[in-house]
């Protein structure tokens, strides 16, 4: 480092390497990514948003929603689960005895205490998960034995982790989820909950609008700032607007006034409803709940 | 080059004396420092407004421009682009001029650059507040502002490179490596990230986030470390009264910082191909090397000089160096897989970035500014005791009260978030208490920023009034032949 040129060259190659690897490399690897196929389905993922929801992403960006909300779900792993849906000829008590009788199988010995212990306090309510863990041999063996005895059970693959248990997602977020987002709004702070699946968790557009206008009118302990500037508070005309929000008394405007969402508020709500990252994919598999 | 040859060259070249060098920096540096102080005040004000959202959520419900998402982004960018970068660029120019033993080259270009820079910050901040943020963290400024910032940076960098190129003292000093590399770092990463992301056709999907993370890491960790340590390595020996100890360690720190530090940035749980976060984790472990080397250099340089804290410029620089060590370790911890499962998505990461910007580079630059100002202007600070008191009363406790509670609160929040049996509201509430303490730190820092601004402003006004007086005196000065004619006419 005796001359400026040597300092320049050292810096140039050091930064150039990381630019080449991380910027160019990731563009090369992912820059031409295409839609993927949803597992056990012929549909593609992700689906292009509606026009209104696409505009809503820009409202989301402009208001810096990503400062407090993430759109990425983490998972720690996957578990194989088996849950009972029908006991067939058994009563709950008989079933417990039956379970004890099949636990002598060598592949079940390790988990027998766990399973039998878990069933001890069970009152016979269905569906009931009897095993959840990493061992797919246990699930296969239990499945065979239960089927032979005429007991109906579902074997499922589920993602694990606190984000999943909180109901924020069915699986971890993957690169494909963001294919159509410009800008991608991953967020880095959870001052508010994750929104990857908010369109599934709160699918009512009126709830979304009310929550934007007065967060504490629908979630009493919310710390979200109100976005009243996305709404018009105006005098009721000849007829009340059909779009006016129906608010609880404490949050309602003065008599003779109504709260009507602006176009921006509608677009933002449409965008939030479009966030539905709950499809099983090759890189993040899980067994979707059967339609009931 | 041996010593005698060096000395001959020195005596042969017309070596400018110190006051001449300092005077050459006066106009451009005053523009950089004054603007930086204004943006620091404004950035902290906006940060305070943003924090208020967590005290009174409906405070700005009818005001789109001060709502949390706007105010927080504007505050972050003001503290980084408005304050930390121009302040440290000003110090960089002065350090280059002093080390070169030559006056600042192209001062007009720097002056123009400083003003373009501040114009860019103004436009960018207005853009964010009006909802034209680009939506990429640390790159929120809209295109116009980004172009201006880049152009302004290049002007300043040209002047800095010219000052370094035309140096009378040919030997390079460790500060040269760090500061010169920082110039390249910002120019490359800022232009590259903006060209990719703030264009009509950004890359598809999550690649945007990867480029964003790469940029944020190179800016917040590598660039800030290069500038901050570059400054510290110039001032620490002055403080200790002996040369920088362990130049070999300094070289090691420089090389490992630029080679390994630049590969961090991708969080463990990011929805990207696994090689990216894995690379960042390994790079994070290797980035401990420069931190340790810098600890060795700093401790060796300072050893024997005592550890008195007088509140003067050097107290700021000592605090800044210590903050580098703490904030760098905390930053690297964000890329430890187990640890980041807890701290990601909490206030922890925000606390670390504030510590890096305000506690490390900010404090080092403020110390340097307080050291440079009296020398550059040829007169003492107008409120020296305010400057001293501001360290004890505002800056040091402000940084600690801002960052430490958020680190603790972030960890508390993280553990509760990771436990699915704790309701989300309870996890947020766990952090809220700590967050509210940090608002106090912000308020203290704001007072400190005001005291910095007062000093710079009073000094500037004093200087301008002095200039005006000299000008008026020159105009009023009797011109013998003319006076004779005048008298004859009247």
Strand partners, A156: A81
Residues A59, A104 share a domain: no
Q: How many CB pairs under 8 A join A and B?
A: 221
Tell me, yes or no, whether A121 lies in a domain: yes
Block residue for tokens 């080679």: B259
Tell me, yes or no, whether A3 lies in a domain: no
Give the range among A122-131, A160-169, B20-29, B170-179 with minimum mean pLDDT.
A122-131
**Contact assignment for A70 to B345 by CB distance below 8 Å:** yes
Please report residues of B whose CB lies closer than 8 A to that of A26.
207, 210-211, 272-273, 276
Tell me, yes or no, whether A136 lies in a domain: yes
Chain B 189-208, CB below 8 Å of chain A: which residues? 189, 192, 196-197, 202-208
Distance from CA of A241 to the nearest CA of B (A): 21
**Contact assignment for B272 to A26 by CB distance below 8 Å:** yes
The beta-carbon neighbor of A26 closest among B192, B210, B258 is B210
Tell me, yes or no, whether A29 lies in a domain: no
For A141, the domain range is 77-160
Q: Is the ipTM of this complex over 0.90?
A: yes
What residues contact residue B249 under an 8 Å CB cut-off, 6+ apart? B293, B294, B296, B297, B300
- Whether the per-residue pLDDT at A254 is higher than 80: the answer is yes
CATH code: domain of residue A128: 3.30.1390.10
Number of domains in chain A: 2
- Whether the per-residue pLDDT at B15 is higher than 70: the answer is no
pLDDT digits (tens, 9 = 90+) for B286-314: 999 999 999 999 999 998 776 677 888 99
CA distances from A15 to A12, B256, B361 (A): 5, 12, 21
Distance CA B216, CA B265 (A): 7
pLDDT digits (tens, 9 = 90+) for B341-350: 999 999 999 9
Please report residues of B whose CB lies closer than 8 A to that of A182.
202, 208
End-to-end CA distance of chain B: 70
Chain A 98-157, CB below 8 Å of chain B: which residues? none
Residues A68, A173 share a domain: yes
So what's the pLDDT on residue B107?
95
**What kind and span of H or E run contains A143?**
helix A136-148
Give yes or no for B167 touching A (CB within 8 A): no
Residues A59, A83 share a domain: no
Distance CA B209, CA B129 (A): 23
Residues A237, A156 share a domain: no
Residues A174, A128 share a domain: no
Name the DSSP class of B246: -
Residues A252, A233 share a domain: yes
Select the more confidently predicted residue: B150 or A277.
B150
**What is the three-class DSSP state of B191?**
helix
Domain boundary, last residue among A131, A160, A189:
A160
Domain boundary, last residue among A136, A160, A184:
A160
pLDDT class of A135 with cuts at 50, 70, 90 = confident
Give yes or no for B73 touching A (CB within 8 A): yes
Tell me, yes or no, whether A23 lies in a domain: no
Count Cα neighbours of A20 within 13 Å in the Cβ-side half-sphere.
Answer: 6
What residues contact residue B454 under an 8 Å CB cut-off, 6+ apart? B382, B383, B386
Residues A54, A126 share a domain: no
Residues A263, A176 share a domain: yes
Residues A85, A66 share a domain: no
Residues A181, A103 share a domain: no
Residues A252, A139 share a domain: no
Tell me, yes or no, whether A93 lies in a domain: yes
Tell me, yes or no, whether A13 lies in a domain: no
Q: Which residue of A has its CA nearest to B250?
A: A1
Domain residue ranges of chain B, discontinuous segments joined by +: 15-171
Please report residues of A whose CB lies closer than 8 A to that of B347.
189
Strand partners, A154: A83
Distance from CA of B300 to the nearest CA of A (A): 21
Q: Which CATH architecture has domain B15-171?
A: Up-down Bundle (1.20)
**Contact assignment for A67 to B72 by CB distance below 8 Å:** yes
- Whether the per-residue pLDDT at B8 is higher than 50: the answer is no
CB A60 within 8 A of CB A194: no
Please report residues of B whose CB lies closer than 8 A to that of A186.
206, 209, 270-271
**Contact assignment for A166 to B420 by CB distance below 8 Å:** yes
Tell me, yes or no, whether A288 lies in a domain: no
So what's the pLDDT on residue A87?
87
Give yes or no for A186 touching B (CB within 8 A): yes
Q: Which residue of A has its CA nearest to B128?
A: A62
Residues A177, A261 share a domain: yes
Q: Which residue of A has its CA nearest to B247?
A: A1
């Amino acid at each position: 480092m005796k001359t400026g040129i040597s300092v320049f060259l050292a810096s140039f190659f050091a930064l150039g390497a990381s630019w080449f690897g991380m910027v160019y490399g990731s563009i090369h690897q992912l820059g031409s990514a295409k839609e993927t196929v949803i597992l056990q389905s012929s549909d593609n993922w992700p689906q292009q948003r509606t026009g209104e929801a696409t505009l809503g992403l820009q409202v989301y960006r402009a208001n810096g929603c990503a400062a407090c909300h993430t759109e990425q779900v983490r998972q720690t792993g996957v578990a194989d689960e088996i849950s009972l849906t029908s006991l067939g000829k058994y009563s709950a008590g008989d079933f417990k005895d039956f379970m004890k009788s099949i636990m002598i199988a060598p592949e079940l010995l390790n988990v027998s205490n766990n399973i039998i212990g878990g069933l001890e306090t069970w009152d016979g309510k269905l569906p009931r998960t009897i095993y959840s863990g990493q061992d797919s041999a246990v699930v296969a063996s239990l499945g065979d034995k239960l089927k032979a005895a005429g007991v109906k059970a579902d074997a499922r693959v589920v993602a694990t982790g606190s984000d999943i248990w909180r109901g924020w997602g069915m699986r971890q977020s993957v690169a494909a989820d963001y294919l159509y987002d410009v800008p991608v709004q991953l967020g880095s702070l959870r001052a508010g909950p994750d929104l990857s699946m908010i369109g599934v968790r709160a699918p009512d557009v009126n709830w979304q609008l009310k929550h934007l206008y007065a967060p504490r009118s629908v979630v009493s302990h919310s710390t979200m700032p109100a976005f009243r500037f996305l709404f018009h508070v105006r005098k009721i005309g000849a007829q009340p607007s059909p779009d006016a929000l129906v608010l609880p008394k404490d949050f309602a405007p003065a008599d003779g006034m109504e709260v009507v969402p602006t176009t921006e508020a509608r677009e933002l709500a449409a965008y939030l409803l479009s966030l539905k990252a709950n499809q099983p994919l090759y890189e993040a598999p899980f067994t979707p709940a059967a339609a009931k | 080059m041996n010593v005698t040859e060096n000395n001959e060259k020195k005596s042969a070249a017309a070596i400018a004396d110190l006051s001449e060098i300092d005077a050459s920096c006066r106009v451009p540096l005053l523009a950089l420092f004054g603007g930086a102080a204004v943006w620091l005040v404004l950035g902290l004000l906006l940060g305070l407004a943003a924090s208020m959202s967590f005290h009174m959520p409906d405070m700005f419900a009818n005001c789109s421009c001060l709502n949390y998402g706007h105010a927080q982004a504007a505050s972050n960018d003001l503290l980084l682009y408005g304050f930390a970068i121009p302040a440290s660029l000003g110090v960089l120019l002065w350090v280059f001029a002093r080390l070169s033993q030559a006056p600042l080259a192209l001062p007009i270009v720097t002056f123009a650059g400083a003003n373009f820079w501040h114009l860019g910050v103004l436009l960018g901040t207005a853009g964010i507040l009006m909802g034209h943020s680009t939506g990429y963290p640390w790159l929120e400024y809209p295109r116009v502002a980004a172009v201006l910032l880049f152009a302004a940076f290049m002007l300043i960098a040209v002047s800095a490179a010219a000052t370094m190129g035309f140096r009378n003292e040919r030997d390079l000093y460790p500060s040269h490596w760090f500061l010169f590399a920082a110039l390249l770092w910002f120019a490359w990463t800022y232009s590259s990230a903006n060209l990719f992301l703030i264009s009509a056709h950004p890359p598809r999907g999550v690649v945007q986030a990867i480029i964003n993370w790469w940029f944020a890491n190179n800016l917040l960790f590598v660039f800030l470390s290069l500038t901050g340590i570059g400054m510290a390595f110039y001032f620490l020996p002055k403080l200790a009264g002996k040369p920088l100890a362990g130049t070999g360690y300094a070289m090691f720190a420089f090389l490992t910082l630029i080679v390994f530090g630049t590969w961090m940035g991708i969080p463990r749980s990011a929805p990207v191909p696994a090689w990216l976060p894995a690379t960042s984790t390994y790079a994070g472990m290797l980035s401990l090397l420069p931190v340790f080397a810098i600890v060795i250099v700093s401790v060796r340089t300072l050893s024997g000089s005592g550890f008195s804290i007088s509140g003067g410029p050097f107290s700021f620089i000592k605090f800044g160096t210590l903050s580098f060590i703490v904030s760098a370790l905390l930053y690297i911890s964000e890329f430890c897989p187990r640890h980041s499962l807890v701290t990601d998505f909490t206030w922890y990461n925000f606390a670390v970035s504030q510590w890096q910007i305000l506690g490390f580079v900010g404090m080092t630059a403020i110390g340097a500014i307080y050291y440079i100002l009296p020398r550059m202007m040829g007169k003492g600070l107008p409120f020296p005791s305010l400057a001293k008191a501001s360290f004890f009363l505002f800056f040091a406790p402000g940084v600690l009260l801002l960052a430490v509670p958020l680190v603790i609160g972030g960890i508390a929040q993280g553990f509760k978030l990771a436990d699915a049996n704790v309701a989300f509201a309870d996890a947020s509430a766990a952090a809220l208490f700590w967050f509210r303490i940090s608002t106090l730190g912000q308020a203290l820092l704001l007072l400190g920023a005001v005291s910095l601004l007062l000093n710079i402003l009073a000094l500037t006004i004093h200087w301008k009034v002095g200039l005006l007086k000299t000008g008026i005196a020159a105009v009023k000065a009797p011109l013998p032949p003319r006076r004779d004619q005048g008298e004859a006419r009247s």
